[in-house]
Amino acid sequence: MTELRFVDEAGNVLADLDTATEGTSGFAPRAGSADTNAPVTDTLDVVLAGGTAAAIRAVIEDVEQALALAARRAKNPASVRVYLEWQIPDGTGVFATEIMPDANGETGRMIYDKRQLNDMWPGKVIEASLAFVHAPHWDKNADTECSLTNAYGTGTGGRQIVNHNDTVAALGANPGFETLGGGDPDFWASWTEVVSDGVLADGSGAGEFHGGAHAAKITAGPTMDTIVTQAFVVVPGLVYTVTFWTRGDAVHSGRYFFWDVTHAALIGVVVDTLITAAVYAQITATFTAPAACVSASVNLMCPAVNAGIAYFDDVTITPNYGGHNNWVEIAAVGVTGDQPTPARIELTNTDASADQTHDIWIGHNVASTPATAPQIFEGEDAASGGGVNTPTIEATCSAGYYGSCVFTQVGVNEYQLYEWDLTTANLDALRSGYFRLLARWFSQPYTDLYIRPAILFATSIIWQGDQLLLSQNVTLQEIAVRPVQLPPWPRTPGTAYPLHLALYAQRTTAALSTVGLDFVAALPTDSWLRLVARGAGLPANARIVADGILGLTYEDGLAVAGQYEGYTPYPYGASIMLWPGALQRIYVLVSDTSTGAGSAIGRTSSLIVKYRERRRVPV
């Protein structure tokens, strides 16, 4: 259990906040609390007066002076906040605690979330020094909107983000025609053949294929409409890049087009490749998935001349997510002032699907190296442990794959399903930060599957989390009870021995089991929020505002004008605290559908971040 205590400048302990209970020793019950004698393990208002040590009352006097001075200098006295700085004596962390005036503006009241402190610094002794009482004040009444950067560009007015995002090979299977079908008319597995009055054949002769040993050979008939086609899942509004290799018969060239399968409509026009030579050349084309289109197809077509022959091979289709774009970056010059300041987070559901945005996880990274700290660990990239992990193609997963792991539960054994390397460079970038681990599952069909994260030195476990029972058939969910420190100790840059992040599993049912993991996300917790939907969630074009400036959380932009408290009124976590003069990133992951069970990788949102500059008032 984390221990909180006051110390003076010489390090003498003045009061231990963990030995008191609510309603005694100067502690006041939390508003609305029915239990006045519960241990201090939740969010409490701690009154630092009345029965506590004289030294603590001296702190209150300093706080009252700071409040008075800040109120005189602040342009908006009602918005004054005073913070007491805390630190862990071993130097691994520093944070600030807000001190509030009572209704008369006279008694200092300290608010802290003991549950969060236990998560972030389990077992640590955390000290508050009298030397660090500050009274930051708003230097501006007006909010400043941050300029946000990611692969979609730079600027204000809302930055587009994608729920997950890696470059995905969306074409389901057999892009090189290497796997043959059952025979005429099923020439190639995973492709649909429309022969009409033309001819389809396996291009396996000398010069007839580009890669491997096979290609699609398409000969036109009198109606010139012989086609091979393959459909794949798309995200409405997203741009797709299609590349393939083609050649002609020295006279004729093939054609291609894209088709909206959802609406049975042509996307664009039928295009002639203009490659007539009997030598392969690459074609690159793009198309945008139409509104509400969730399935499209690539269509490779015969020449526009009877008896003309064209060959096609090595087809790739890539959604232009632009990399891992569930984040926005704020430059070092993007936040002014000299004190951390709470942010107003405005997130709008811009996705074209009917599914609503449900739960929302928001993480903030300023202490780890934002640009290089690893954030996504792909399931298909993991090494196998006690199970067998097989990379499996799936268009709806990040990078077009997930890791399918099979294990056989025997007795009470735990099995290592997935393991990822943490190199010295990775650990340097992570800088002993704390991260919440979320997993996106392609398949998790069990009601009795327990998961446990661990950190390995070679093959030895040096840290492990508590076991957590996973929810059945829920795509995105947390897999660690507490934030994980990576690496789990302070270190000098460049000296960390490589480690491994691993996931262990156990079922209460002895059986052969298969789970599919898309990725694990390490969500930074320099500050963090989780917004939990009370009902169906956030519909298209609606907005949720987590206002750390005014302490409000609400939805708007609904069918009926006005604000609505459709999410938990007080989010899990605290306000996202922006740091002046520092490069920082804000990461977002969301679940979707009316129950929160889904989490489409291409789901889009628009993010705006605002703040008010804060200045320190010395006391």
Per-residue pLDDT of 62-92, as tens digits, reads 444 444 444 444 434 444 444 444 455 555 5
188 and 254, same structural domain? yes
**Angstrom distances, CA of residue 190 to CA of 174, 232, 261, 618:** 6, 11, 16, 70
User: pLDDT (tens digit, 9 = 90+) per residue, 236-251?
Assistant: 777 888 999 999 999 9
Mean pLDDT calculated for residue range 170-197: 87
The pLDDT score that the predictor gives to residue 209 is 96
333 and 308, same structural domain? no
Would you say residue 175 lies in a domain?
no
Tell me the CATH number at 279. Answer: 2.60.120.260
Q: Total structural domains in the chain? A: 4
201 and 126, same structural domain? no
18 and 120, same structural domain? yes
User: pLDDT (tens digit, 9 = 90+) per residue, 184-195?
Assistant: 888 999 999 999
Highest mean pLDDT among 32-41, 267-276, 389-398, 459-468: 267-276
Query: 115: domain range?
Result: 3-138
**Angstrom distances, CA of residue 423 to CA of 95, 555, 585:** 28, 42, 22
606 and 515, same structural domain? no
Q: Which of the two residues, 393 and 461, has the higher pLDDT score? A: 461
Segments in 410-456 forming alpha helices (H): 424-430
Would you say residue 70 lies in a domain?
yes
Model confidence, pTM:
0.63
Does residue 314 surpass a pLDDT of 70? Answer: yes
Mean pLDDT of the chain: 78
Last residue of a domain, one of 502, 522, 542: 522
Would you say residue 171 lies in a domain?
no
430 and 380, same structural domain? yes
Would you say residue 101 lies in a domain?
yes
The pLDDT score that the predictor gives to residue 200 is 95
The pLDDT score that the predictor gives to residue 89 is 53
Would you say residue 198 lies in a domain?
yes
Last residue of a domain, one of 460, 494, 522: 522
Q: Please provide residue 432's backbone torsions phi and psi, each rounded to the nearest 5 degrees.
A: 60, 30
Does residue 543 surpass a pLDDT of 80? Answer: yes
Last residue of a domain, one of 491, 522, 553: 522
Does residue 544 surpass a pLDDT of 50? Answer: yes
545 and 406, same structural domain? no
What confidence category does residue 519 fall into, taking pLDDT thresholds of 50, 70 and 90?
very high
Mean pLDDT calculated for residue range 162-168: 62
User: pLDDT (tens digit, 9 = 90+) per residue, 569-601?
Assistant: 656 777 898 999 999 999 999 999 888 899 988
Mean pLDDT calculated for residue range 474-481: 93
**Angstrom distances, CA of residue 40 to CA of 17, 23, 286, 325, 371:** 8, 11, 59, 40, 38
User: pLDDT (tens digit, 9 = 90+) per residue, 369-386?
Assistant: 888 899 899 998 899 877
337 and 276, same structural domain? no
510 and 453, same structural domain? yes
Would you say residue 407 lies in a domain?
yes
485 and 465, same structural domain? yes
Would you say residue 173 lies in a domain?
no
The pLDDT score that the predictor gives to residue 123 is 52
What confidence category does residue 273 fall into, taking pLDDT thresholds of 50, 70 and 90?
very high
Does residue 9 surpass a pLDDT of 90? Answer: no
Strands (E), 248-400: 255-260, 265-272, 281-288, 295-301, 309-319, 327-330, 341-349, 357-365, 376-378, 388-393
Would you say residue 412 lies in a domain?
yes
402 and 444, same structural domain? yes
User: pLDDT (tens digit, 9 = 90+) per residue, 524-535?
Assistant: 988 899 999 988
192 and 161, same structural domain? no
Does residue 228 surpass a pLDDT of 50? Answer: yes
Q: Are strands 327-330 and 527-531 parallel, antiparallel or unpaired?
A: unpaired
DSSP-assigned beta bridge partners for residue 390: 404
What confidence category does residue 129 fall into, taking pLDDT thresholds of 50, 70 and 90?
very low
